[in-house]
Amino acid sequence: MRKGFTRRPQADEPATRVKNYITAGGLQRLQDEHRFLLTRERPAVTEVVAWAASNGDRSENADYQYGKRRLRQIDGRIRFLTKRIEAAEVVDPEAPRAGQAATRAFFGATVRYANAAGVSRVVSIVGTDEIDLSRNHISWVSPLGRALMKSAAGDSVVLQLPGGTEYLTVLEVCYERISVEPFREPPGSEASAKGLTRRRSPDEEETKRHRW
């Protein structure tokens, strides 16, 4: 039996040492959020800060203080997303595979397994930016993801968790489309409150002109 484990990075290891393995849908979600923050949310918050700054004493101006704090949060998120996008290594779960790559669990695999009580579960192994437990999408570096990695139907694996050890039997490994929840504009965003519309792409502008 093999044991799943989680390796802790050393303090002096660079953040970009490991590639950011991700599906195309996951990368699209990161890019959409990055675009929203950069072109819509940040300009909207900047406008609020400018307005608040014109209202007098900034030290006691709640709108100004909140706006500046929100800008720092947005800038931090933009920097994080930029790094994740630049380090992205897209993996297509539906791409043709041969040999063990088609029968063993690697990134992008959908795995059906059962615990010692015979209760089965199906999970898809995705990137750290795509974790969605409501869809049974688990990270490839999670304890369960690592335990299942390289396993094939009929294999027994050991899952080490803080609460104890679980013994799992792999029932099936396949590669199929993994549907990722798309990025949705937060309902409480400043851009939504101001009613700022999304910028149309050149293709969309061309379609609009022909329509009229």
- Determine phi and psi for 197, rounding to 5 degrees: -85, 155
Residue 202 belongs to some domain of the structure: no
Please give the DSSP secondary-structure letter assigned to residue 151: -
- Please compute the mean of the pLDDT values over residues 126-139 and round it to a whole number: 97
Check residues 163 and 212 and name the one with the higher pLDDT: 163
Cα angle for residues 106, 114, 94 (degrees, 5° grid): 30
Asked if the model's pLDDT at residue 210 lies above 50, the reply is no
CATH of the domain at 127: 3.10.50.30
* Domain co-membership, 168 together with 104: yes
* Domain co-membership, 38 together with 78: yes
Helix, strand or coil for residue 103?
helix
Asked if the model's pLDDT at residue 196 lies above 70, the reply is no
Residue 10 belongs to some domain of the structure: no
* Domain co-membership, 114 together with 132: yes
* Distance of alpha carbon 183 from alpha carbon 201, whole angstroms: 18
Q: pLDDT tens for residues 148-178?
A: 999 999 999 999 999 899 999 999 999 999 9
**What total number of domains does the chain contain?**
2
- Domain with 106 in it: 100-174
* Distance of alpha carbon 155 from alpha carbon 9, whole angstroms: 29
* Domain co-membership, 128 together with 167: yes
Asked if the model's pLDDT at residue 15 lies above 50, the reply is no
* Distance of alpha carbon 55 from alpha carbon 161, whole angstroms: 55
CATH of the domain at 23: 1.10.287.180
Contact 126, 111 (CB under 8 A): no
Asked if the model's pLDDT at residue 34 lies above 50, the reply is yes
* Domain co-membership, 127 together with 155: yes
Beta strand 2-3 pairing with 156-161: parallel
Residue 208 belongs to some domain of the structure: no
Q: What is the pLDDT of residue 78?
A: 98
Q: How confident is the model at residue 57 (pLDDT cuts 50, 70, 90)?
A: low
Which residue do the tokens 């690697």 mark?
A: 106
Residue 2 belongs to some domain of the structure: no
